[in-house]
Homo-oligomer: A and B are copies of this chain.
């Protein structure tokens, strides 16, 4: 029934599903953007200060299952936000270095066109306090501190991260560094830039990973070093956007792949057509060329017959509410 006014809670979300075909795999249904439903609120405290909260659940739309075993995988935090002093949040939220490089990937690190993931990637992180500065003449600074939650693996460490961004149209320059909690002091850092030429945004990024085999207290199978670089394009053409990505990534001293350089090239092309401000349909295609079968296994995961190259296609629909 429709009746009463509602509390000062905003419900938002994304629902997305479509059909995906990859080399050596059956057609399946899956997403291009993480499915989510969230609840946020802001309470004005006066003097330009506000309290904020965010709760965001992630799930798979194609079959209705949870995306992870977390109740609020996407966000679970409370904080204070000041126009003048910036904002502080506590709880679970985006990890800075991932947030930085993800923002330059036109496929936003999702779906068949996604940039290749680092082997030491924590997209979101809990037990964290994070500060984001206001824009100071185009400069933004973000820092976070994440508590270790383990006491017994011998690979425990608190996590921390920092990001600095210069964002004055048409130029964006950014750099970030991160150590995840309980990662045996692994680290990632990345550099990025983008430039807006009228309707086209061109981005470049470089990322370096030193993965010591642990992440958030869990042992990983792919300890080693990884270097990644990509050039990307986001080009508004009428009601649609053309997306492009060319990426090179190299693993070495890797326990799965071996000590020598193992490189992968990825080429992705996508088209997103807006049916309205919040609804779009998309078609993406990508080609990935691996140096070795071992590298395919390490990056794509186990499947019947490892191919040294793989095509992937996806068509689907996204609804943002």
Interface of A toward B, CB cutoff 8 Å: 1-13, 15-18, 26-29, 35, 37, 39, 41, 43-46, 49, 51, 53, 55, 57, 59-66, 69-73, 75-80, 90-92, 124, 126-128, 147-149, 151, 275-279, 316-319, 321
Contacts and interface: CB of A to CB of B under 8 A. Distances in A.
A272 to B, nearest CB: 14
A43 B11 contact: no
28 contacts: A1-B8, A2-B4, A2-B5, A2-B8, A4-B10, A5-B6, A6-B11, A7-B321, A9-B11, A9-B13, A17-B77, A17-B90, A17-B91, A18-B90, A28-B147, A41-B319, A41-B321, A43-B278, A44-B276, A51-B278, A55-B59, A61-B90, A62-B76, A63-B126, A64-B70, A64-B76, A66-B70, A66-B71
Contacts of A79: 317
B319 A78 contact: yes
B39 A39 contact: no
A70 to B, nearest CB: 5
Copies of this chain, whole number? 3
Contacts of A69: 65
Given A45-B276, A78-B16, A149-B28, A90 B8 contact: no
Given A4-B8, A35-B76, A61-B91, 9 more contacts: A8-B321, A11-B39, A27-B147, A45-B275, A51-B317, A62-B91, A62-B126, A64-B71, A64-B91
A32 to B, nearest CB: 11
Give me the 10 closest cross-chain CB pairs, A-B, nearest first: A63-B126, A64-B76, A6-B6, A64-B72, A3-B8, A64-B92, A51-B279, A66-B71, A15-B78, A15-B53
Contact of A2 (B6, B57, B59, B66): B6
A7 B11 contact: yes
A79 to B, nearest CB: 8
A159 to B, nearest CB: 13
Given A64-B76, A276-B51, A316 B90 contact: yes
B62 A127 contact: yes
Given A90-B17, A149-B63, A279 B37 contact: no
Nearest to A281: B80
Contacts of A317: 51, 78-80, 90
Contact of A43 (B61, B62, B124, B321): B321
A43 to B, nearest CB: 5
A127 to B, nearest CB: 5
Contacts of A90: 17-18, 29, 61-62, 316-317
B78 A73 contact: no
B39 A61 contact: no
A7 B16 CA distance: 19
B29 A147 contact: yes
Contacts of A147: 26-29
A16 B76 CA distance: 10
